Amino acid sequence: MSRKFADLHVRCDIGPDGEGLRSITRRARLLGFSLLAIPLSPGTTKKRLSELKAIAEEEGIDLATRVDLAPTSRDELLSSLRRLRRKFELIGVLCQNKRVARVAARDRRVDLLSFSLEPRKRFFDRAEAELASSSNCALELDLMPLLELSVRERVRLLRRLRAEVALAEKGGIPIVISSGATEAILMRKPRELAYLASELFDMSLEEALDALSKRPLEIVERNRAKLSPDFIAPGIRLIRRGRDCPLER
């Protein structure tokens, strides 16, 4: 069975008229992606979200709505999650301090954890991994920003990233590989990203391919099910409502 690939972190400007999004989605389709997520403003209206999804669908791409949070405190994070969880299909959190990292890792409303490119500001350690393993959130690794670092900075960071990947794999925490591309021209084919990730992070090629297909798609499908009006609780969905429900006598 052929894989369906997803890039959950395309950080390109989509523009106000939708043409930027069309350009991005056309390139994504040509590269071999089926699904994209582009971080949007928390204030984006639901009507606008629907319009953007429709534009992407016209170009043959499934668009998952995403918002990125960069809270500096526990209260700021929790407030944002309360406001936005029912609005966006994906929520990513940039963990800028250990306190925020711990809260984000254990909160089931957070889908993707990311960290600074500075090794000393990365807080994904054993305690973080234990919390994340029980909340179903994933560790997201952007590839393109790594290539913009100096050789010395990249070497230092990769040493840390390899340790984080090993920790995540040991704890059963999903790893999501994204491009993190800021321009459409910087996007790459999914298998090229997988080969690069396998080399940089000491992952097997199969694991890297899963991190660009199986893992991100599972997260999106799970969240779409939760956002459905028929969702009751994990494993419980409303099948019929109103007069369609036969009454037992």
Sorted by where each begins, the domain ranges of the chain are 5-244
Residue 15 confidence (pLDDT) = 86
Residue of 210, 174, 225, 178 whose CA lies nearest to 4: 210
The pLDDT value recorded for residue 244 is 59
51 within 8 A of 18, measured Cβ to Cβ: yes
What pLDDT is attached to residue 233? 45
- pLDDT for residue 44: 96
**pLDDT recorded at residue 52:** 97
Q: Are 21 and 61 in contact (CB under 8 A)?
A: no
pLDDT at 210 over 60: yes
Residues 187-198 have a mean pLDDT of 97
Q: HSE-up of 180 (CA within 13 Å, CB side)?
A: 17
Amino acid identity for residue 176 in this structure:
V
Integer-rounded Cα radius of gyration of the chain = 19
Using CA atoms, how far apart are residues 157 and 121, in angstroms rounded to an integer?
11
pLDDT, position 32: 98
- Dump pLDDT digits (tens) for 18-68: 889 999 999 999 999 999 999 999 999 999 999 999 999 999 999 999 999
Q: What is the mean pLDDT of the chain?
A: 92
> Taking the model in full, what pTM does it have?
0.90
Check residues 235 and 112 and name the one with the higher pLDDT. 112
pLDDT at 142 over 70: yes
* CA distance readout (Å), 138 to 33, 57, 112, 190: 20, 26, 5, 19
Q: What integer is the mean pLDDT of 70-89?
A: 98
Q: Using DSSP bridges, classify how beta strands 236-237 and 231-233 pair: parallel, antiparallel or unpaired.
A: antiparallel
pLDDT of 236 strictly over 70: no
State pLDDT tens for residues 151-188.
999 999 999 999 999 999 999 999 999 999 999 999 99
What tokens does 223 get? 């969240």
Q: Are 226 and 189 in contact (CB under 8 A)?
A: no
The Cα 203–Cα 195 span in angstroms is: 9
* Segment 111-139 mean pLDDT: 95
- State the Cα–Cα distance between residues 168 and 111, nearest whole angstrom: 15
Neighbours of 150 (CB within 10 A): 8
Domain 5-244 is found in CATH 3.20.20.140? yes
